Amino acid sequence: MVNGPARGQGLAGSARHPAYEEPFHWWGPPWDTPRPQNLLDLIRCGTLTAGQGGLLWARLARRQSVVVVAGPRGAGKTTLLNALIDCYPSDTRRFYLRGCFEPFSFLSDPAVQPGRSLLLVNEFSPHLPSYLWGSGVARVLTAIKQGFAVVGTAHAADAVEFVASLAGFPLRIAPALIGGIDLIVALTDGAGDGHRTVAGIWTLRTVKEKEGSTEREREGSGLDIRSLLTAAREADIIIDKRAESDDRGRGPSLGSAVAGSIGGDELRQRSAYLSALADRPNEGNSSVAEHLAAWPMPKDDRSAPLPDGRP
């Protein structure tokens, strides 16, 4: 389970810092259900597939940073983000940031370990004082370079629109800083049937400028926005090894081009594990993080054991 400092204490028990262990002011729509939906709940209701969940879990277990985006308010961004926090290593400390009130004093606290810390941004936006905007956005992205992982939400239709909101006026954040965000996940708005699903997953990669580039060329480059998943059916096939060579028309296998640096075998095993857990309707909210933390990273091509002991 991801933990923060004890209630009422600042970082390392010091009164010099605000208490970061609880959300500040407002976090998510007020009409959210009393029990937050976890990763298994979202797989069961079809918000994301077990394949997509396996891909995100594999990357967040490596402490990558992620931003969940969607156009309309109430599309489920915070719900998905909260569920994804379970994917981080169990020794990770949460720090809920305070929007425009954030002093960032923890960045200079020697008791804070960046490599075990997760900075939570309820939204990258100028709409409310409790949201993060202005110079605070650059400070958070700089913290990624110091070893912190960052999770947050934003109003944007896709990765391109989100990156443009940071790189354009008025923030004009450098591509090298924006590229610290490893993953951008977009949700559909649920228009029509009201059912929200993951519409895309992208990764950002900083593009190194070429030697001898002109100033105009340097301004026009900087970030490569690459799609990891563009459709739910594309993610489903990593659960079943046989789908690699069948002719059922389900699309190509998720190989290294889709998975990035993570092997396809690991993705299949993680996805199969999530699928088996999701088939158990009584998995409690508190046990999901424990199940994920207990999953053994496989050292070969054999499938990781499922929760019931089956191979």
pLDDT at 71: 81
CATH architecture of the domain with range 35-104+120-283: 3-Layer(aba) Sandwich (3.40)
Q: Please, where are the H alpha helices in the chain?
A: 39-44, 50-60, 77-84, 135-145, 159-167, 175-178, 215-219, 232-236, 256-259, 264-278, 287-294
Q: Are strands 66-70 and 149-155 parallel, antiparallel or unpaired?
A: parallel
Give the dihedral of Cα atoms 119, 124, 126, 132; nearest 10 deg. Answer: 10
pLDDT 10s digits, 39-66:
999 999 999 999 999 999 999 999 999 9
> How far apart (Å, rounded) are the C-alpha atoms in residues 173 and 51?
33
Is the pLDDT score of 230 beyond 60?
A: no
Neighbouring C-beta atoms of residue 97, cutoff 10 Å: 27
Window from 84-88, 110-114, 145-149, 229-233 with minimum mean pLDDT? 229-233
Mean pLDDT on 104-121: 93
* 95 φ/ψ angles, rounded to the nearest 5 degrees: -130, 105
> How far apart (Å, rounded) are the C-alpha atoms in residues 159 and 186?
7
Sign of CA dihedral 129, 172, 76, 7: negative
pLDDT at 261: 57
**Helix-then-strand count for the chain, H and E:** 11, 7
Is the pLDDT score of 252 beyond 50?
A: no
pLDDT band per the 50, 70, 90 thresholds, residue 296: confident
The pair of structure tokens assigned to 293 is 């933390």
pLDDT at 222: 81
Coil vs helix vs strand at 46: coil
pLDDT at 239: 36
pLDDT 10s digits, 145-182:
999 999 999 999 999 999 999 999 999 999 999 999 99
